[in-house]
Structure 1
Amino acid sequence: MSSPGQEFADRVLGGWLGRIAGNMLGKPVERGDLWTRERIDGYLRRAAALPLDDYLPEPADESDALALRPEWRQCVRGRVHGSCRDDDIDYAILGLHLLETHGFGFGTEQVGELWLQRLPYLQTFTAERAAYRNLVNGLKPPLTATYDNPCHEWIGALIRADVFGWTCPGAPHRAAALARRDAVLSHSGNGVYGAMWAAALISAAFTAPTVRQAVDAALTVVPASCRLARTVRRVVSLHETRLSWEDTLGTVSRETSGLGWIHVVPNVAVLTAGLLYGDGDFTRTIALTVRGGLDTDSNGATAGSVAGVLTGAAAVPDRWKTPLEDTVRSAVLGFDGARVSDLAERTVRLARTNTACALATLPE
């Protein structure tokens, strides 16, 4: 039997492995305007891979292959050898480095300085690229988020939030406050709320008895009237009526139409549905989330992080974690080829220094 300390470390490692595996699962079909839910399931049917229980299969025909992202050959089952480089993983690594460098009292300007020092401009996208450009031009937060930045409510800040949840287990409000300080460099409004919600969700997953209770806890850190919170509650209510996963997503998709496939609100709907209908099962959670479409690699990564924390690394099926070979590729200076196990150990050390955490989850 493992000690409580070993269990906590295993759950942090589960979060890292889940994030990377979920990201790899969704990466080949990351283009929500092309890879709709219907098209993803059509791909899987042609490849005889429904229900989905492993990395995506190789495409069954040439038209499918041409529509996939160019990196698909490194992400499909049988071809995965360590993780691909991706911003969803880069920001988790950069967040870890931020806390190691500046501690839990970091400021938003220090986040920006670290981007300029460690993150190549061409490996930033949408709101982050706008904020990066604003930093180079001498602007300070919060102007970096709002000046000439039409993407400030997109999903970018949410994908940066995991490390704040991993290092604040059982303290969702503390995790959300840290995520907000990071998010306002590049986002505002629902873009910031998405980061706060995700950090709180991951934090709550360490102590909440069920996925639903973790989702409920995460809702307490954002304004109840914001569109993100209203959309999460809508998914919860549809799930409670025992509506099917497909019909729930169809309903919410119609209600959020026009926001675009990278906007945080429809993606949080897909993510919430994947978590609730996955009901704590690692494979079902990431598979449903990626099949939900939109920003598939980002949603798969966050769903995998939550599910990995809930189950722990030891319970993540080998088919997801063994091909990762304990290795990540990263554009963050000094971290390419890092060991996943080392990143997780460093995260645990940080969590133990964070006195605001729920101490019962961090025994010696």
Structure 2
Amino acid sequence: MKKLVSWSLFLIVVVGFIAPKPQPTYVSMSKEKLRDKIKGGWAGQVIGCTFGGPTEFQFNGTMINDYQKIPWYDGYIKHSMMSSPSLYDDLYMDLTFVDVFEKHGLDAPVEAHAKAYANSEYRLWHANQVGRYNILHGLKAPESGHWLNNPHADDIDFQIEADFSGLMAPGMPNTAAKIGDGIGHIMNYGDGWYGGVYVGAMYSLAFVSKDINYVVKEALKTIPAQSTFYQCINDVIGWHAKYPNDWKKTWFEVQRKWADEAGCPMGVYSAYDIDAKINAAYIVIGLLYGNGDFTKTMEISTRCGQDSDCNPSSAAGILGTMIGYDQISSYWKLGLKEAEDVDFRYTTMSLNDVYDIGLKHALQMIERNGGKVSDKDVTLAVQKPQAVRLEQGFTGHFPVSVKPIQKELTNEYSFEVDGIGFVLRGNAEPVKVDIANDKANVHVFDAELYIDDKLVEKAKLPTSFRLRRHELFWKYQLPKGKHAVRVKVLNPDPGYVVRMVSLITYDNKPHAHPE
């Protein structure tokens, strides 16, 4: 019996060793067509972001009704870029990483990306801001994005800035995931990272397929089926099959099953939802029900609400990659030409610049990954999507209460937590805020966190908005039970204040009313 087992193992090893690896499918196209698709991807993002800008987080937990007109006019894109530069965080965040690749090569270390992003002049929110704070205070990726260190780890941040990874990797979703792995974990983890993996994969596959249903379904193979992100998007695909002509029915199903927020402190017990998976669901609703129509795709993704500039930006970017720049309706390119030479705020890069740089990087990635590049044509070695590793944040943590505080932390403040974790929301700021000159708002509070009379953390609380700590304190995975918590400020200053807003408590299961 032992000999039989040994021979069986030997044969498995030998067969596994000599069995040929699955060969990629090869797709050829002209360099000009590749460039047109890359241009379509970047231009689509700008168009979608501009279109959805006025409604961003104005419709939370509700859709934007059909009778509510969303404006569009000639010159709107340039006007928005000049007057509302922060609207384009989708773009200038992408371009931060593109610029690092351009300056340091395609093997640029994650540390270079983290340094460029953390030291940038633009304002950030949510997972991006926590990641920036963590990097600036010595916590490196991937710990900077891990949910134990980042209450916003499941937020949309990497999802809205992962477009570059797919545009760099035409037909290569696994390569796109690899490009985005280290970068995505600067600010996200789990579902937050998966949002970027999925969006990057859809961009990548949009180069080699004109079937939006195929792109949506095939890209999902990059996400572990055990994850809640996969389950949410898979539900959307199923509901689209069940209600093929009514996107609003699918929207209601998403709202019913997936709208509860556990991570982002701003979204707990609130209609506000910046979670990656539900906003990715809105991207997919737009793509599936838009069915290749640029206008319908943008309209639907926008009208789903919540992050209604980022979602149509991703949807329009993916579809723009699929159909190419030249096939985007002239209506949606009104005024685009005059905006293509305008540098995005906080960067030295315009759309025309990134069209060229994007093509350059894509050609390099094609050659690196089994494809071929000639004078006029390219051959893509198309990859079969493979699931990335499984990781899930906030497991076993259920928000059970949100209590308002609305007090200033002048010296110390004590409270009790009954559960396994908490987030103390609040902010440090000048008494008189100088919005125009954030560098004038400079003071750094030294603060301490005690749990059950033990010092568990010393933290810096900068009053600069750009450098701020997004939440004052948080702690997860506490032993279940009651805990005495105390926070202290060691260096109060009459010109600055620490405001405590609310306390969120987590337990290991939802709390139900007694019978």
TM-score (norm 2): 0.60
CA distance in 1, matches of 2:164, 2:189: 20
Residues 131 and 28 (structure 1 numbering): CA distance in 2 closer, same or farther, change over 3 Å? same
What's the CA shift string for 1:49-106, capped at 9, x where partnerless?
A: 4xxxxxx22xxxxxxxxxxxxxxxxxx4355141522211111211221221233323
Instruction: Name the counterpart of 1:191.
Output: 192
Residues 177 and 314 (structure 1 numbering): CA distance in 2 closer, same or farther, change over 3 Å? same
Instruction: Name the counterpart of 2:348.
Output: 334
What's the CA shift string for 1:304-339, capped at 9, x where partnerless?
A: 11010111111111121232322445233433xx2x
Instruction: Name the counterpart of 2:359.
Output: 348
Instruction: Name the counterpart of 1:149.
Output: 150
Q: How do residues 19-168 of structure 1 correspond to structure 2 at under 5 angstroms?
A: 19-31=45-57, 34=60, 36-37=62-63, 40-41=64-65, 45=67, 49=69, 56-57=70-71, 76-78=72-74, 80-82=76-78, 83-84=80-81, 85=85, 86-117=88-119, 119-120=120-121, 122-146=122-146, 148-168=149-169
Instruction: Name the counterpart of 1:180.
Output: 181
CA distance in 2, matches of 1:174, 1:33: 36
Give the 3-state SS of the residue equivalent to 2:333 in structure 1.
helix
Give the 3-state SS of the residue equivalent to 1:104 in structure 2.
coil
Residues 262 and 327 (structure 1 numbering): CA distance in 2 closer, same or farther, change over 3 Å? farther
Q: How do residues 256-295 of structure 1 correspond to structure 2 at under 5 angstroms?
A: 256-259=258-261, 260=267, 261-295=273-307
Letter of the 1:226 counterpart? S
Instruction: Name the counterpart of 2:31.
Output: 5
Q: What is the root-mean-square deviation in Å for CA atoms of aligned residues?
A: 2.0
Aligned residues: 327
Letter of the 1:16 counterpart? W
Instruction: Name the counterpart of 2:218.
Output: 217
Letter of the 1:345 counterpart? D
Letter of the 1:267 counterpart? N
Residues 226 and 170 (structure 1 numbering): CA distance in 2 closer, same or farther, change over 3 Å? same
Q: Following TM superposition, by how much is the alpha carbon of 1:221 offset from its aligned partner in structure 2, in angstroms? A: 1.2
Aligned with residue 15 of structure 1, among 37, 41, 60: 41
CA distance in 1, matches of 2:373, 2:311: 27
Residues 23 and 361 (structure 1 numbering): CA distance in 2 closer, same or farther, change over 3 Å? farther
Instruction: Name the counterpart of 2:316.
Output: 304
Q: Hey, which of these two has a bigger chunk of strand by percent?
A: 2
What's the CA shift string for 1:282-309, capped at 9, x where partnerless?
A: 1111111111111111101100110101
2:61/2:305 contact within 8 Å kept: yes
With 249-258 and 83-92 compared, the bigger mean Cα shift is at 83-92
Letter of the 2:145 counterpart? A
Letter of the 2:362 counterpart? A
Q: Following TM superposition, by how much is the alpha carbon of 1:33 offset from its aligned partner in structure 2, in angstroms? A: 5.1
CA distance in 2, matches of 1:306, 1:357: 22
What's the CA shift string for 1:101-124, capped at 9, x where partnerless?
A: 23332332221111134x21x521
Task: Determine whether 1:205 maps to 2:217.
Answer: no
Q: Following TM superposition, by how much is the alpha carbon of 1:251 offset from its aligned partner in structure 2, in angstroms? A: 0.6
CA distance in 2, matches of 1:157, 1:170: 21
Q: Hey, which of these two has a bigger chunk of helix by percent?
A: 1
Letter of the 1:255 counterpart? K
1:29/1:35 contact within 8 Å kept: no
Residues 35 and 266 (structure 1 numbering): CA distance in 2 closer, same or farther, change over 3 Å? closer
CA distance in 1, matches of 2:260, 2:138: 33
Point out where structure 1 has 5 or more consecutive residues left out of the alignment: 50-55, 58-75
Give the 3-state SS of the residue equivalent to 1:106 in structure 2.
coil
2:94/2:161 contact within 8 Å kept: yes
What's the CA shift string for 1:248-301, capped at 9, x where partnerless?
A: 111111101212421001111111111011111111111111111111111011
Q: Following TM superposition, by how much is the alpha carbon of 1:35 offset from its aligned partner in structure 2, in angstroms? A: 7.7
TM-score (norm 1): 0.84
Letter of the 1:5 counterpart? K
CA distance in 1, matches of 2:151, 2:292: 35
Instruction: Name the counterpart of 1:60.
Output: none
Higher relative contact order (CA 8 A, sep 6+): 1
CA distance in 1, matches of 2:227, 2:169: 24
1:168/1:358 contact within 8 Å kept: no
CA distance in 2, matches of 1:198, 1:269: 11
2:243/2:249 contact within 8 Å kept: no
Larger radius of gyration: 2
Identity of aligned residues (%): 26
Give the 3-state SS of the residue equivalent to 1:123 in structure 2.
coil
Q: Following TM superposition, by how much is the alpha carbon of 1:200 offset from its aligned partner in structure 2, in angstroms? A: 0.7
Residues 162 and 357 (structure 1 numbering): CA distance in 2 closer, same or farther, change over 3 Å? farther
Give the 3-state SS of the residue equivalent to 2:157 in structure 1.
coil
Q: Which runs of 4+ in 1 moved over 3 A?
A: 32-35
1:94/1:332 contact within 8 Å kept: no
CA distance in 2, matches of 1:286, 1:317: 12
CA distance in 1, matches of 2:310, 2:138: 30
1:10/1:314 contact within 8 Å kept: yes
2:298/2:316 contact within 8 Å kept: yes
1:35/1:293 contact within 8 Å kept: yes
Residues 106 and 304 (structure 1 numbering): CA distance in 2 closer, same or farther, change over 3 Å? same
CA distance in 1, matches of 2:252, 2:128: 30
CA distance in 2, matches of 1:222, 1:356: 24
